[in-house]
Chains A and B, each alone.
Chain A
Amino acid sequence: MIGLLRRDLTLAIRAGGGFGLSLAFFLIFTTLVPFGVGPETGILSEIAPGVLWLGALLACLLSLDRIFQLDWEDGTLDLMATSPVPLEGLAAMKALAHWITTGLPLVAAAPVLGLLLNLPGPAYPWLVASLALGTPALSAIGTFGAALTVGIKRGGLLLSLLVLPLYVPTLIFGALCVSRATTGQDPLTPLLLVAGITAGSLALLPFAAAAALRVNLR
């Protein structure tokens, strides 16, 4: 399983096109927002929590179809399914690799982008904490969606349609945590709820993803 993880990470770094792209997308998304809503710092700092969370979510979404698609096309996935590692473990490792290559850089970049959007000072630790606790859930849910659509050609749009409604609770609690911190309310409750969703997704969704993979590999 560690080998699987290492392989995915090496592929993501060396093959190019995967590792930095979602980060660049996050940056350009955040840059475009002031063009859309105007440069007044008051408005920007008010919407910054939601925009940052939404940007991270979309950046995660864009890289989802790569989780299984390439391995599916060249037959690696079949080999992995016949290996002694259970499919549930494979799905969990794929989710973890996706989180390390997209979620973790997003967490690290978020405070810098928060500066761009004039996010109020006390919100920064909560932004980092909520993204760090929330993005694993996004990766786990996304891995499930990718497993559902792996057999479908040009399944990218369908994948978004399936995954985005599932992202709703994570987005709500994550953005709420940051925006509460900007207005001086208690941000801990939504943060704990984000952590709860992440824990639940990490525990259960690899099983659902593995079930979907089994159907697709039949």
Chain B
Amino acid sequence: MASIWEYANPRKFMATSAFLLPWTAGIAGVCLVVGLVWGFFFTPDDFRQGSTVKIIYVHVPSAIMAINAWLMMLITSLIWVIRRHHVSALAAKAAAPVGMVFTLIALVTGAIWGQPMWGTWWEWDPRLTSFLILFLFYLGYMALWEAIDNPDSAADLTSVLCLVGSVFAIISRYALVFWNQGLHQGATLSLDREQNIADVFWYPLVITLAGFGFLFVALVLYRTQTEIRARRLKALIAQERMA
């Protein structure tokens, strides 16, 4: 019986990810093109928001993936702490910049949407502020990876930071709700509602959501491969020096 821990073996991971990468990247490309073109050009304007409603096809998926990326880093960090699989630590390292960029996209598209709709680029709303703080967490996490030379120590320390940071990120989220009433509308998507938004907007949104998800997987696989290759190269150079 194949277990998921087989992929802790870098060779096995490389083989599987080399097979998966073109597929995920391809599906991501198709979904993004179809979803965005459909969303931008073949959906009607909203009667209150006009054409600005269409930024939802970038804003919502990137915001969702920004949080999921941190969640993935949390899980891979836990796997590293508990079972010490190097691929897991490298995947966490690889996911951080991707998640940071998604966070940035969510913030920027939100600002672009907020300017005509709320009349302001920025508002100290709990959701906006917690994304800004999430962005800072990503920055700190990446800076810590960069600052430490020994890769194992770096993996250990960033994992501990990720675990502690997750707890504080959640506390901050609720502290912010307590701190200021929001301008941001409620969740666009939730599972316990029959219909979240009108079907014309819903179908392209689902497609872009899938597109961003696959894009994240593809980027993380690709970046993890790069990290593994960089690690192998370092080992080879060290061997050469020893010989």
Contacts and interface: CB of A to CB of B under 8 A. Distances in A.
A205 interface: yes
A199 to B, nearest CB: 13
B81 to A, nearest CB: 9
Interface string B149-174: 00001001100110111001101100
Interface stretch (B28-36, B131-139, B209-217): B131-139
A37 interface: no
Contact of A169 (B143, B164, B171): B171
B178 interface: yes
A161 B168 contact: no
B20 interface: no
A172 interface: yes
A193 B143 CA distance: 30
A92 to B, nearest CB: 16
20 contacts: A148-B161, A158-B140, A158-B144, A162-B140, A165-B133, A165-B136, A165-B169, A165-B172, A166-B168, A172-B179, A176-B178, A205-B164, A208-B164, A211-B156, A212-B156, A212-B157, A215-B153, A215-B156, A215-B157, A218-B153
Interface of B: 133, 136-137, 139-140, 143-144, 147-148, 153, 156-157, 160-161, 163-165, 168-169, 171-172, 175-176, 178-179
Given A165-B137, A216-B157, 13 more contacts: A144-B164, A148-B144, A149-B144, A152-B147, A161-B140, A162-B143, A165-B140, A168-B133, A168-B175, A169-B171, A172-B179, A205-B164, A215-B156
